Amino acid sequence: MRKLTLGSSEVEVSALCLGTDLIGSKIDRETSFRLLDLFRESGGTFVDTGNFYAAWLPGCKGGESETTIGLWMKERGNRHEMAIASKIGFDYPGCQGGLNAAEIERECDKSLRRLQTDRLDLYYAHRDDSETPVEETMEAFDRLIRAGKVRAIGASNLRSWRIAEANTVAGAHGWARYSAVEQRHTYLRPRHGADFGPQVSINEDLKGYCGARDITLIAYSALLQGAYTRQDRPVPMQYAGVDSNARLEVLRGVAEESGVTLNQVVIAWMRQSDPPVLPIIAGSEPGQLAENLAALKVTLAEDQIRRLDVAGNPDIKQAWLR
Ligand SMILES: NC(=O)c1ccc[n+]([C@@H]2O[C@H](COP(=O)([O-])OP(=O)(O)OC[C@H]3O[C@@H](n4cnc5c(N)ncnc54)[C@H](OP(=O)(O)O)[C@@H]3O)[C@@H](O)[C@H]2O)c1
pLDDT digits (tens, 9 = 90+) for 268-322: 999 999 999 999 999 999 999 999 999 999 999 999 999 999 999 776 654 555 4
Q: Which helix (H) or strand (E) holds 88?
A: strand 83-88
Q: Which helix (H) or strand (E) holds 205?
A: helix 204-212
Q: What is the DSSP letter of 236?
A: P
Q: 202-223 burial by CB neighbour count: b if 16+ within 10 A, else e?
A: bbeebbebbeebebbbbbbbbb
Q: Are 134 and 161 in contact (CB under 8 A)?
A: no
Residue of 284, 289, 296 to mutate, ligand 1, most atoms within 8 A of C-beta: 284
Q: How many Cβ atoms from other residues are within 10 Å of residue 131's Cβ?
A: 8
Residue of 155, 203, 185 lying closest to 266 (CA atoms): 185
Residue of 280, 289, 292 to mutate, ligand 1, most atoms within 8 A of C-beta: 280
Query: How far does residue 223's CA lie from ligand 1's centre (Å)?
Result: 7
User: What pLDDT does residue 10 have?
Assistant: 96
How long a stretch of residues is the chain? 322
The stretches in the chain having pLDDT less than 50 are 318, 322
User: What pLDDT does residue 313 have?
Assistant: 74
Q: Which helix (H) or strand (E) holds 167?
A: helix 160-173
Exactly one of 53, 123, 178, 220 is catalytic; which is it? 53
66 in ligand 1 pocket by Cβ < 6 Å? no
Q: Helices 160-173 and 134-146 sit at what angle, rounded to 10 degrees?
A: 60
Separation CA 189–CA 114 (nearest Å)? 36
Tally the domains of the chain: 1
Query: How far does residue 50's CA lie from ligand 1's centre (Å)?
Result: 14
Separation CA 117–CA 152 (nearest Å)? 15
Could you list the beta-strand ranges (E) of 90-233: 122-125, 153-156, 178-184, 216-220
CATH number at residue 264: 3.20.20.100
The whole domain housing 74 covers 3-321
User: What pLDDT does residue 229 have?
Assistant: 97
User: Which residues have C-beta within 8 Å of that of residue 282, sequence separation ≥ 6?
Assistant: 18, 19, 20, 21, 22, 223, 288, 289, 292
User: What pLDDT does residue 322 have?
Assistant: 46
User: Which residues have C-beta within 8 Å of that of residue 152, sequence separation ≥ 6?
Assistant: 6, 7, 9, 10, 11, 121, 122, 123, 145, 176, 179, 180
